[in-house]
Structure 1
Amino acid sequence: MLRFSGAGVSDVGLVRPHNEDAAFVGPYVAVVADGVGGAAAGEVAAATAAYAVAATALGRMGEEPEELLLDGLEAARTNIRRGVQGDLTRLGMATTLTAVVCDGRRAVLAHIGDSRGYLLRGGDLTRLTTDHTYVQRLVSRGELRPEEVVRHPWRNVVLRSLDGDPVHEGVDLLPLAVRTGDRLLLCSDGLSDLVPEPIIAELLAVADPHSAAAALTSAALEAGGRDNVTAVVLDVVEGPMVVGDGQPLGALREVANVVDPGAVRLVR
C-alpha cells in the first residue's frame, strides 16, 4: 500500500506578529492552508479549513480521495461561514488550501489559492499547482513575463480562496501518478515567494523530510521572512497500513482557532 512518510515546519517569519498558516501531516493526508493576507481572522480560516479536510480524511480512510477532499472542503466552507456568523469581526476571513489524500493506491491533490504543491522525482522538480492569482492570470495570457511577477505591485492578489460563500469557484483536483521514491512538497507562499525553484529543488533533496522542511524554511527566513512560512515534505513509500493521526502545525496547534472541531482527534 502507498502512503506518506513526512514531516513539516511552520514558522511565523520575521515580520508578521502571529502565524496565519495552518498545516497537518499524516500518513494518508497532508494539508497546508494560509489565511488570506489582510483579511480578518486568517488564522481561524486556515486552521478551520486544515482541520476539516484532515478530519474528513482521517474519519473515512480508504474512501475515494476525490470524494474525501470535496467533502472536506465543503465542511471547511460550512464551518468558516459558521465562524463568521458567530463573530462578525471575522467577516471576510478566507484561506488558501493545498491538500493531498492517499487511499493506499492513488493520491489526489486539491488546490485553491496560491499555496503550492511540488513533486521531486529523480532530482527534477515539477510544480503541480497553478496559482489562483492576478499575476498568474496575466502570465497565462502572455501579458506578463514570469520573471516580472516578483516586481508586480499586485503580485499578492489572490483571485480564488476558500471562504464561507456557498457560491464559489471550484477547487482544482489533480490525480497524481505518484510512485515509491517520489517526494512531495506542500508549502505556503511565504516559501515560494522568496526561494527560487532551483533552490527549492536543491533543498528538497536533503535526505530526510524533516531536515528538508527545516532547510526550506530557513532559506525563506534568510531571504527576509516577510510572511509566515510553512513547508510539508512527504516521501511516497510502500508498506502495510499504519495507525496514527498525524501532526498539526502553525495555527492548527491552537484548538481555539478551529471552528467546530468535532470529535476527530488530530494530535498524536
Structure 2
Amino acid sequence: MLRFSGAGVSDVGLVRADNEDSAFVGPYVAVVADGVGGAAAGEVASATATYAMAATALARFGDLPEVILREGAEAARASVQRGVQTDVRHRLGMATTLTALVCDGERVVLGHVGDSRAYRLRDGELIQVSRDHTYVQGLVDTGQLDAGAAWRHPWRNVVLRSVDGDPLDRGVDLVPVPVEPGDRLLLCSDGLTDLVPDELIAQLLGAGDPDAAASVLVQAAIAAGGKDNVTCVVLDVVDGPPVVGDGQLLGAVREIGNIVDPGAVRAR
C-alpha cells in the first residue's frame, strides 16, 4: 500500500514580519498554502484553506483522491468566504494558494491553484508536476516569453487564480501524479522557487531523509535572501502497511485563531 513518509519546514524568512504560509504533512495527504501577497489576512486564508483540505482528507480517507481534493477545495473556498463576510478586518479580501497531494494507497493526485508548486524527483530527475497560475506562466504558454526568463521576470508573482472565497471559483486543477516507491515529492511556496533555481532544488531535494532535505531547501532560500516566507514539505513514496496518524501542522495553521470556523468540516 502506497503512502507518504515525510516532513516539512516553514520559516518566516529574513524580511517578512509574520509567516503567512501554512502546511500539513500526513501519511496520505500533504498541503501547502501561501497567503497571497498584498491581500488582507493572508495567514488566515492560508491556515483556513490548509485546515479545510487536511480535515476533508482525514474525514474522507478511502474515497477517490479527486473527490477528496474537490470537496476539500470547496470547503476551503466556503471557509475563506465566511471569513471575509464575518470579520470587518477581512473586508478588503483575503486569498491563498492551495497545493495538495492525496494518496489512496494506490494512486497520488495533485490538487492545485496559485503559484505554490509540486515537484517529483526520480533517479535524480526533477519534474514540476504543477502549473503556475500566474501572468508570467501565461506569457510562457503563449510563446511570448522564454521559460528560462520567467524565473527573473518582475511580474512573476502576479497570481491569476487563488482561493479567495469567490462563489464562481473554478476550484483546483486535478493532476494525476504517476509515482512508484522510492520517488520523492516536494510541495513548496514561492519563497523557495523565487530564489532557488530548479537545478539546485534537485540537488538539495535528494539529500538525506525528508526532514534533512526540507531543512536544507529552506536554508538555501534564506541564504539567497529570504525575502519571503518559505515552506517546504518533502515526501518519500513508500510501500508498506497502512499507518494511523493525523499529521504535522506547519506555519500559520499552528495558531488556532487563524482558522475560520474550525467546525466547518466534519466527518460524514
- What is the TM-score normalised by the length of structure 1? 0.96
Distance in 2 between residues matched to 1:109 and 1:134, nearest whole Å: 21
TM-superposed deviation, 1:3: 0.3
SS at match of 2:24: strand
Shift of 1:184: 0.2
Aligned partners of 1:177, 1:149: CA distance in 2, in Å? 26
Alpha-carbon distance in structure 2 between the residues aligned to 1:261 and 1:30: 18
Aligned residues: 265
Aligned to 1:80: 80
Q: Which residue of 1 aligns with 2:69?
A: 69
User: What is residue 143 of structure 1 aligned with on the other side?
Assistant: 144
Displacement of 1:156 in angstroms is 1.1
Contact 2:52 2:265 in 1 (8 A): no
For 2:97, what is the secondary structure of its paired residue?
strand
170 and 244 in structure 1: CA distance in 2 versus 1, 3 angstrom threshold: closer
Deviations 1:81-129 (A, max 9, x none): 1111111321310000110001111111001000000000011000001
How large is the RMSD of aligned CA atoms in angstroms? 1.3
Tell me how far apart the structure 2 counterparts of residues 153 and 204 of structure 1 sit (CA, whole Å).
Answer: 26
SS at match of 1:224: coil
Deviation of residue 169 (structure 1)? 2.9
**Alpha-carbon distance in structure 1 between the residues aligned to 2:89 and 2:106:** 43
Q: How does 1:168-247 map to 2 (within 5 A)?
A: 168-247=169-248
| Paired position in structure 2 for 1:13 | 13
> Does the C-alpha gap of structure 1 residues 97 and 263 become closer, same or farther in structure 2, counting only changes over 3 Å?
closer
What amino acid maps onto 2:34 in structure 1? D
Amino acid aligned to 1:197: D
**Counterpart Cα distance in 2 of 1:20 and 1:154:** 20
Choose 208-217 or 159-168, whichever is displaced more: 159-168
- 2:22 equivalent in structure 1: 22
Q: Distance in 2 between matches of 1:152 and 1:124?
A: 25
Note the residue ranges of structure 2 that are not aligned, 5 or more in a row. Answer: none
Separation in 2, partners of 1:63, 1:155: 36
C-alpha distance 256-145 of structure 1, shift in aligned 2 (>3 A): same
1:209-241 residue CA offsets vs partner (Å, 9 max, x unmatched)? 000000000000000000000000000001111
Structure 2-normalised TM-score?
A: 0.96
Moved over 3 A (4+): none
**What per-residue deviation string (whole Å, max 9, x for no partner) do you get for residues 7-32 of structure 1?**
00000000000000000000000000
Q: Which piece of structure 1 moves more, 31-40 or 153-162?
A: 153-162
In 1, Cα distance between the equivalents of 2:38 and 2:88? 16
Residue 57 of structure 2 corresponds to 57
CA contact (8 A) 2:34 2:97 kept: yes
Give the Cα separation in 2 of the matches to 1:164 and 1:216. 31
Would the alpha carbon gap of residues 244 and 264 (structure 1) be closer, same or farther in structure 2, given more than 3 Å must change?
A: farther
Instruction: Describe the SS at the equivalent of 1:95.
Output: coil
| Identity value in percent | 69
Q: Unaligned stretches of 5+ in structure 1?
A: none
